[in-house]
DNA sequence: CTCGTTCATAATCAATGGGTTATGAATTGG
DNA sequence: CCAATTCATAACCCATTGATTATGAACGAG
């Protein structure tokens, strides 16, 4: 546990991550990817309830937050949830009291980064 | 109402929580409260770098997200971090982080609550 | 080559949100 | 009582954002 540093660079990634996770539609897309695995934009649009451009933009934000990766195959783009992307947020939670009574054992392997 | 993506009931509180945590200033206030304990608005303003009304508004959001509690004493209002307020987010992390790491699809058990 | 599919980007709009200063209500101290 | 302190709210300002429709590029099937 390190001493708190005013506005470290960890803060920036936390900012981006929390912002990415703070939208319900975006979280729903991410949850779907986690549950169902790699999906095309088309498939995600079908279940998202918003327009295809919006899905693309949401996925773009998730990607910039390192929460998903994109793989292009022909005219389709497949997105995949990226486990390690949550690490900074998990770290934050661990430091600031989330670890007080919950089980994070499944995420311990992410703490390397 | 078209149900495209099935969202749990915790979605609403997660939304509020993630949004509350998605601002750096707000997180800094929360972190300070966690580290230093109960603080007055005046004290928090002194270390926040923003104006007092902004601090009040940030604290209001943290309070509505159940991340802090307020105690009034005379003309001062003391705010305290409330660790349990993070519970829905921790829950979300546990569910999707665990699913993420290893694909065991026993989601139904956890979605019971 | 041509047409439909898939996806991303641009233009646009309304709403939200972080920030400020100004104001006002309580409360405390002299 | 009067003045200063503490806090919350209101009135703005401007940047961001979620959402839409329109457009265009790239690719696959015929």
CATH classification at residue B88? 1.10.10.10
Kindly state whether residue B2 falls inside one of the protein's structural domains. no
Task: Give residue A62's pLDDT.
Answer: 98
The number of distinct structural domains making up chain A is 1
The per-residue pLDDT for range A38-60, each reduced to its tens digit, is 999 999 999 999 999 999 999 99
Kindly state whether residue A105 falls inside one of the protein's structural domains. yes
Q: Which residue has the higher pLDDT, A101 or B7?
A: B7
Q: Which residues of A touch B31 (CB under 8 A)?
A: 4, 96
Q: Which residues pair with B69 in a beta bridge?
A: B80
Kindly state whether residue A4 falls inside one of the protein's structural domains. no
Nucleotide nearest to B57 (CA to C1'): D8
Strand D bases with any atom < 7 A from protein Cβ: 5-11, 17-22, 25-28
pLDDT in tens, chain B (113 residues): 334 554 555 678 899 999 999 999 999 999 999 989 999 999 999 999 999 999 999 999 999 999 999 999 999 999 999 988 988 998 898 888 766 654 443 333 334 33
Kindly state whether residue B68 falls inside one of the protein's structural domains. yes
Kindly state whether residue B5 falls inside one of the protein's structural domains. no
Kindly state whether residue B4 falls inside one of the protein's structural domains. no
- Contact, B61 CB vs strand C, < 7 Å: yes
Kindly state whether residue B87 falls inside one of the protein's structural domains. yes
Range of the domain at A74: 9-112
- Contact, B40 CB vs strand D, < 7 Å: yes
Contact present, B79 and B70 (Cβ < 8 Å): yes
Which residues in A45-83 are b (16+ Cβ under 10 Å) and which e?
Answer: bebbeeeeeebeebbeebbebbbbeeeeeeeebbbebbb
* Angstrom distance (rounded) from CA A14 to CA A89: 6
- Contact, A15 CB vs strand C, < 7 Å: no
């Amino acid at each position: 546990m390190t001493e708190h540093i005013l506005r470290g660079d960890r803060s920036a990634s936390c900012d981006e991550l929390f912002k990415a996770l703070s939208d319900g539609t975006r979280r729903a897309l991410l949850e779907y990817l986690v549950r169902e695995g790699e999906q095309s934009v088309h498939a995600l649009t079908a279940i998202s309830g918003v327009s295809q451009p919006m899905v693309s933009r949401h996925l773009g934000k998730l990607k910039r937050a390192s929460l998903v990766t994109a793989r292009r195959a022909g005219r389709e783009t497949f997105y995949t949830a990226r486990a390690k992307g949550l690490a900074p947020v998990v770290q934050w939670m661990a430091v600031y009291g989330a670890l007080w009574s919950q089980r994070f054992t499944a995420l311990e392997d992410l703490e390397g980064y």
